[in-house]
């Protein structure tokens, strides 16, 4: 089992939206490294820290779980859509997504709080210049964060 931190802007899609939907495709990722994490490394049952980003108080807002293996992201084929990729074809898709399912809301564990724990010094979300929407989380970091969340 692996663990991941997946960012979403709450104005676009929040932990409340995931709770309401139950399970959703994590579509629209257009970074090759994040795509490769989904396509090549994510497995059903992997744990997810659902992180609210680009908001007044960014932080971990809930827990989710990977619920499907990666499959082609349909939004790459929608010619008038935000995530259209003219180089993608059904025979050779460029972008993939997994589905995630809701596990539970948590207290908000803010970016500042995460930075305050030396045990999380190597957490990728805390690295200077990190802008990836999906990052792996070390099992020790995962367990420490779960303890913080109660």
> Which string of DSSP letters, residue by residue, matches 4-30?
EEEEE-TTTS-HHHHHHHSEEE-----
**Residue 54: predicted pLDDT:** 94
Q: Is 54 exposed, middle or buried (0-12, 13-18, 19+ CB in 10 A)?
A: exposed
**Residue 130: predicted pLDDT:** 85
**Residue 83: predicted pLDDT:** 96
User: How far, in Å, CA of 51 to CA of 45, rounded?
Assistant: 18
The answer to whether 26 and 42 have CB atoms below 8 angstroms apart is no
Q: Answer whether CATH 3.30.300.130 is correct for domain 3-149.
A: no
**Residue 117: predicted pLDDT:** 97
Residue 129 pLDDT > 90, yes or no?
no
Domain residue ranges in the chain = 3-149
| 9 CA to centre of own chain | 11
Mean of the pLDDT values across residues 59-65? Answer: 98
Please state, as a whole number, how many other Cβ atoms lie within 10 Å of the Cβ of residue 126.
13
Residue 131 pLDDT > 90, yes or no?
no
**Residue 21: predicted pLDDT:** 98
Please state, as a whole number, how many other Cβ atoms lie within 10 Å of the Cβ of residue 42.
25
Among 74, 71, 67, 78, which residue's Cα sits nearest to residue 96? 71
* Tokens of residue 142, six digits: 């995962």
Q: What is the pTM of this model?
A: 0.95
| DSSP at 48 | E
**Residue 1: predicted pLDDT:** 93
Mean of the pLDDT values across residues 43-68? Answer: 97
pLDDT digits (tens, 9 = 90+) for 106-119: 999 999 999 999 99
């Amino acid at each position: 089992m692996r663990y991941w931190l997946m960012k979403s802007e709450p104005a676009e899609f929040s932990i409340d939206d995931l709770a309401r939907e139950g399970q959703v495709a994590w579509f629209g990722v257009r970074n090759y490294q994040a795509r490769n994490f989904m396509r090549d490394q994510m497995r059903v049952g992997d744990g997810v820290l659902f992180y609210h980003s680009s908001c007044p108080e960014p932080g971990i807002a809930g827990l989710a779980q990977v619920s499907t293996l990666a499959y082609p992201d349909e939004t790459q084929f929608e010619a008038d859509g935000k995530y259209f990729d003219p180089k993608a074809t059904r025979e050779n898709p460029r972008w993939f997504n997994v589905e995630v399912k809701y596990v539970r809301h948590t207290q908000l564990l803010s970016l500042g709080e995460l930075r305050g724990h030396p045990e999380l010094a190597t957490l990728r979300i805390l690295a200077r210049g990190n802008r990836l929407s999906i990052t792996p989380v070390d099992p020790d970091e995962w367990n420490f964060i779960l303890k913080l969340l109660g």
